[in-house]
Structure 1
Amino acid sequence: MATETIIRPEGAAQDWTIPQDWNTYTRDEHAMWDTLFERQAQMLQGRVVQEFLDGLDVLRMTRPGIPDFAELSERLMERTGWQVVAVPGLVPDRVFFEHLANRRFVAGRFIRKPEQLDYLQEPDIFHDVFGHVPLLANPVFADYMQAYGEGGLRADGMGAIDNLARLYWYTVEFGLIRQGDALKLYGAGIVSSYGESVFALDDPSPNRLGFDLKRLMRTRYRIDDYQQSYFVIDSFEDLLRQTVETDFAPLYREVAQEPDLDVATILPEDRIYTTGTQAYAAAKESS
């Protein structure tokens, strides 16, 4: 999602969609997808939620090459009523929310270059499709994404998009989940990143804190490096329940009266899974 004003590119439809033009992908571009896919699929075994792996399987995303959005959407529609639509890049907030509210996930069509294997600023098709789409085959998470889109349309009229964006960041992009005695990955920004797939679970540097909606909406986040705090949900069902049962209007008013929290802050009332050393962030700042 975008957090600043951007102009619709020439050739994009009113809803900012463009053709994927799957037939124009080159052999090298398909090979880049396969390299990224094989590396991440191996890394994620035992680390990511089973629902994600199930999504890769039922959507047939384990086949070689960049997925065709038309075929992917057909399989998604059968499972949860979702589609994947191509866009030229980041889209305005309201456009993003409208697509989600109507069970359409927007994805960039370009794929990174070899020199961007481990990092790029703007999300590409691997982040958008590999990272996000498998969980859209899970009915509960699919409902959460639609509920988030509907909530975004309401937040747009309340001046609360920045707070709601933090919910997306700390769940959809960089969320952890507790399953039994273990923490597992589910956020797309983690599962599509080789380095952060290790960092988020194993490194002693970040905080790992229990999910709390109001607290999360007060917490800043990092867009340029690994996170200094991760929030842990109890289940997708609980995440959906809190999203649909919460009256966000008074919550936004409460949050507006309280100061933002720094990314590394731990509050006395937090449920703490890990108190991070913050060594990684400190080393980056001093370098």
Structure 2
Amino acid sequence: MDISTQKNRYHDAPRAADFTIDQAWDTYSAAEHDRWDRLFRRQKEVAKGRACEAALKAMSALELSASGVPHMDRLSDRLERITGWRVVPVAELVPDNIFFDHLANRRFPAGAFIRPEAEFDYLQEPDIFHDIFGHVPMLAYPVFADFMEAYGKGGQRAMTLGQLHNLARLYWYTVEFGLIREAGGLRIYGAGIISSPQETVFALEDDSPNRIGFDVQRLMRTKYIIDDFQQTYFVIDSFEALLEACYQDFGTVYSEVKGKPDYEAAEVAQGDAVIHRGTHAYFDAGGRRGA
């Protein structure tokens, strides 16, 4: 079989101790480069007026474009000059301890494979388009870059305290599916939204989901959906506020949330700063992604 048609062409690639692999950039096929170009052009257009200013500016600064699958070493050289981060290729999701070590040392592990044509519109596991178009631009914004390093260090501690499930929810509702207030209204910074044309529109413009002000403890107690749009999106006021909230001693936060019941993904809780109370019409109709 032509390896360019497989879902993950790096499945059997040799891995270093930190689970990194050789991207082997020169082995991408013409079809794979074309697939990146089409994904990039479509999503760059959808992101206009919807992605946060920091992400849009970073795409230009990092020279992301529809010119073939990015070469991670070259991209890393540009990123490192801005915030000291590098992007390292991996075959698939890495173990938690490895992931946190990478983040704590300003390395972002990015999947090296690109989704197959049959899954052009939606892929549940992160590929190179999700990781580089979605995650990497925000790593060029200094405050967010600091937040990601702090998250990596916090993850190492959460593992020792048995609170990883709480910290994972923080990542989900910020790094993957976060919204931010800007002068023009709500904008996207979460990679899971910004790399998806459907969710980019849904998160901002659909009446179905809740949009609620950011609160660390609230996020840590909230369940989330893996295979469909989110039922609730949390909104930060600024990246500085996000960083400040996450520089606190999470040992105290974990003590506060431990033993308390979880919130369902669609739930609006007493005390929430409700920006928009969702109708949940999309979810009541059965959704689409999870169908």
TM class, shorter-length? over 0.9
Tell me the percent identity: 55
Q: Does 1:49 align with 2:56?
A: no
8 Å contact from structure 2 (residues 37, 65) kept in 1: no
Residue 281 of structure 1 corresponds to which residue in structure 2?
283
Q: AA paired with 1:129?
A: I
CA distance in 1 between counterparts of 2:14 and 2:75 reads: 23
Q: Which amino acid counterpart does residue 253 of structure 1 have in structure 2?
A: S
Q: 1:181: Cα distance to partner?
A: 5.3
- In the alignment, structure 1 residue 143 sits paired with structure 2 residue 165: no
**Deviation above 2 Å: which 4+ runs of structure 1?**
none
User: How many residues of Structure 1 are paired with residues of Structure 2 in the alignment?
Assistant: 279
Q: CA deviation at 1:118?
A: 1.2
CA deviation profile, 1:196-226 (whole Å, cap 9, x unmatched): 0000000000000000000110000000100
The 5 A counterparts of 1:73-88 are 73-88=76-91
TM-score computed with the length of structure 1 as normaliser: 0.95
Unaligned runs of at least 5 residues, structure 2: 1-10
Provide the residue aligned with 2:266 in structure 1. 264
* Cα offset, 1:268, TM superposition: 2.0
Where 1:17 maps in the other structure, the secondary structure is coil
Counterpart of 2:101 in structure 1 is: 98
Q: TM-score, normalised to structure 2's length?
A: 0.93
Q: Choose the corresponding residue for 1:198, options 201, 211, 223.
A: 201
2:29 to 21, 26, 31: 26
Q: 1:9 to 1:101 in 2, by over 3 A?
A: farther
Aligned partner letter, 2:233: Y
SS across alignment from 1:183: strand
> In structure 2, what residue type is equivalent to 1:102?
N
Rounded to whole Å, the distance in 2 between the matches of 1:76 and 1:228 is 33
**Partner AA of 2:35 in structure 1:** M
The AA in structure 1 aligned to 2:112 is R
Alpha-carbon distance between aligned partners in 1 of 2:184 and 2:20, rounded to the nearest angstrom: 42
Report the more deviating stretch, 225-234 or 105-114.
Answer: 105-114
CA displacement at 1:285 relative to structure 2:
6.7
Gaps of at least 5 residues in structure 1 are 1-7
| AA at the equivalent of 2:255 | R
Output aligned runs, 1:229-268, within 5 Å.
229-244=232-247, 246-268=248-270
Q: 2:73 aligns with which of 70, 75, 81?
A: 70
| Cα distance in 2, alignment partners of residues 223 and 285 from structure 1 | 13
126-135 or 173-182, larger mean C-alpha shift: 173-182
Could you say which residue in structure 2 is the equivalent of 1:110? 113
CA contact (8 A) 2:213 2:236 kept: yes
Q: Secondary structure at the match of 2:109?
A: strand
RMSD: 1.4
Aligned partner of 2:4 in structure 1 is none
Q: Per-residue displacement from partner, 1:5-49 (whole Å, max 9, x unpaired)?
A: xxx966101100001111100110000000000000001111111
1:179 to 179, 182, 190: 182
